[in-house]
Amino acid sequence: MRARPRAPSPARPYIAALYAGDRLRLAATAALACVLELAALPVSWVLSAVIDAIAAADAAALARILRFTVVFTATVLAAGLAYERLRADLLRRAAVRYKNAAFAAVCQKSISAFRRENTGRYIALLTSDAEKVQENYLNAVFLLLPQPFLVLGALAMMLRLSPALTLATVLLSLLPMAGSALLAPELARRERTLSDENERFTGRIKDLLAGFAVIKSFKAEGETAEVFAAANAGVEAARARRRRWEGSLGTTAQALGLVTQFGIFFIGAALAVWRGSISAGTVVLFVNLSGSLLYPLQNVPQYLARRKAARALIEKLAAVAAENTTRTGTPAGPVLREGIELSHLSYGYVPGKPVLRDVSMKLEAGKKYALVGASGTGKSTLLELLMGACHGYAGSVTVDGRELRGIDPDSLYDLISLIGQEVFIFDDTLQNNITMFRDFPPTAVQSAAARAGLAALIQARGANYRCGEGGSGLSGGERQRISIARALLRGTPVLLLDEATAALDNVTAASVTNSILDLDGLTRLIVTHRLDKALLERCDGIFVLRGGQIAEQGTFAALMARKGVFYSLYTIGAAQGADGRNLPAEI
């Protein structure tokens, strides 16, 4: 019975990224590493030859050895400089490719998948873990490859001089190897534990810094400092456990190495004194060459343990990247031909507690709609569902007659854009924040910026003005205008606006909303608290959400004439602020 072929490791693409396109550079670096490691053998011979030349009072031999050492040292220097240059460049290129591959894998996730995860783990995987992979996985190649050649070279020199002492040296050299082999597996486990703790710590830092304003407002500095201290203590305890074990591994190997070297020295001395079969220089040669055996036997298990630990980090990255991956599906069409329809849709974040209940509504292609209702009625949740962010709903959502669950998310994002209440601004220029780092015709960028009300800001500060972290150099209204400009620049057939003008003053909000309503051919759904008669009258339909259900739908005139829920919202809001711009919390 033929064995079934093994499935490829999920870590393979990331390991391949470390080496991709650098095979020749890797081979050259490894060859130089072998040359430099093998330099220990001639050094041992030089020491032995010098001692024997001194014992024989052979000045000519000393002169020959001196000339050899000058040439040899110059050669080692040149090889060492070339090796360090190649190695540094290779590690740099590998780290760039590895982290790029990791980030590209993360970008393949859907919005809903990413929301279910802790972003702190990605920060750890792309920073501290990536550094360990670079040093302990790839760099370990240059430490491991020369060791077999070093051992074989040392054994060849030893056997030529004294087979008996060679056998004793080999047997004694097994002691450090046995000690390291017993302790090394635990190092890999502790490295993985440290990675997990570092992930949690990074996530905690991100969480606390993101909530800085809340911490200050509630005067919770002392309590949050304790939270930070607990997380900090956890990661440092894991680091200390890893460090202690690594130190124990090295110390044990070093102690056993001393036992080996002393044993070789005394056995060699006995052979030289009692049997006269070897010279004093040969004893020194064996003691030095024992290092060429001991070094690999002591350190190879450690290198392998670190490489195994680094491999575990690569596999962790592969597992995290594969977790909650983007669903596959058939592509959506490039345009919306018929419309989007919700039929008996129900959804809740917690089982048994629906946010939306039995919602049925239709958005016809090319028309404009408003969605209104008091806070907490499910308006934002409904827009998230339309963006494919959640799929555990009952009922159906169809796009041109096709169920949303079966549509490829990437193609859905090409069809629908969402301008949300929360705007993220990158620490980059106004231009790059509007274009999202993509290339667009300058006229298209200018048009989108003007329609979003950004023309004055760009004229005053310039397109290359840096917005600061999280848009700290901009006002809330300016950040929201950037969000609107992004969506207008993309020009998707469907545009969803979730309180997109909430941060703008009334005049600017009306101007921006009118610009959006003026766009031809787009299907628009606008969620708003601003019950502005002039704007609502331009909508082809208004949906009124109440308690997670569609309470009413129709045109502005029809809803006002009905004098139902919408009429109450509008008239009560009008009493609170001109044109009903502020809805009551509940009705």
Question: Quick one: pLDDT band at residue 217, thresholds 50, 70, 90?
Answer: low
Per-residue model confidence as pLDDT tens digits over 390-441: 778 899 999 999 998 888 877 888 888 888 877 788 888 999 989 888 888 9
For residue 587, tell me if it sits in a domain.
Answer: no
Name which residue leads in pLDDT, 306 or 552: 552
| pLDDT tens digits, one per residue of 459-471 | 999 999 998 888 8
Confidence check: pLDDT of 578 > 50? no
Residue 586 has pLDDT above 50, yes or no: no
Position 1 confidence tier, pLDDT thresholds 50, 70, 90: very low
Asked whether the beta carbons of 326 and 410 are under 8 A apart, the reply is yes
Residue 455, in any domain of the structure? yes
User: Residue 517: pLDDT band by 50, 70, 90 thresholds?
Assistant: confident
Q: Between residues 544 and 246, which one has the greater pLDDT? A: 544
Rounded to an integer, the average pLDDT of 279-303 is 74
Residues 444 and 395 in one domain: yes
Mark which of 260, 295, 322 sits at the end of a domain: 322
Name the residue with tokens 């090889």. Answer: 79
Beta strand 416-419 with 368-372: parallel, antiparallel or unpaired?
A: unpaired
| pTM of the complete model beyond 0.75 | no
What was the pLDDT predicted at 4? 52
| Average pLDDT score over residue span 198-214 | 77
Domain count, the chain: 2
C-beta of residue 350 within 8 angstroms of C-beta of residue 379: no
586 lies in some domain: no
Are 32 and 81 part of one and the same domain? yes
Rounded Cα distance, 368 and 48, in Å: 92
Which of 296, 322, 348 terminates a domain? The answer is: 322
> How many Cβ atoms from other residues are within 10 Å of residue 429's Cβ?
17
Tell whether the model's pLDDT for residue 309 goes beyond 70. yes
Residue 1 lies in a domain: no
Examine the pLDDT at 377 and tell me if it is beyond 50.
yes
Cα of first residue to Cα of last residue in the chain, in angstroms, is: 73
539: nearest Cα among 551, 523, 552, 562: 523
Percentage of the residues of the chain whose pLDDT score is greater than 90: 20
Instruction: Show Cβ contacts of residue 248 under 8 Å, excluding neighbours closer than 6 positions.
Output: 183
User: What's the chain's average pLDDT?
Assistant: 82
Same domain, 351 and 299: no
Decide if pLDDT at 527 tops 80.
yes
The reported pLDDT for the residue numbered 129 is 87
156 closest CA partner among 272, 328, 285, 324: 285
Among 259, 287, 322, the domain-final residue is 322
Q: Are residues 387 and 521 in the same domain?
A: yes
Determine, yes or no, domain membership for 5.
Answer: no
For residues 94 and 129, state if they share a domain: yes
> 101 and 128 share a domain?
yes
Instruction: For residue range 17-56, list pLDDT tens digits in order.
Output: 888 888 899 999 999 999 988 888 888 888 878 877 887 7
Question: Across residues 184-203, what is the average pLDDT?
Answer: 80
Q: Which residue has the higher pLDDT, 140 or 176?
A: 140
**For the residues 532-561, what does the mean pLDDT come to?**
92
In this predicted model, which residue has the larger pLDDT, 188 or 335? Answer: 335
Full domain range(s) for residue 387: 339-580
* 81 lies in some domain: yes
Which pLDDT band, with edges at 50, 70 and 90, does 8 fall under?
low
pLDDT of residue 577: 54
Q: Which residue has the higher pLDDT, 568 or 249?
A: 568
Query: Tell me, what's the pLDDT at 216?
Result: 65
- Do residues 202 and 125 share a domain? yes
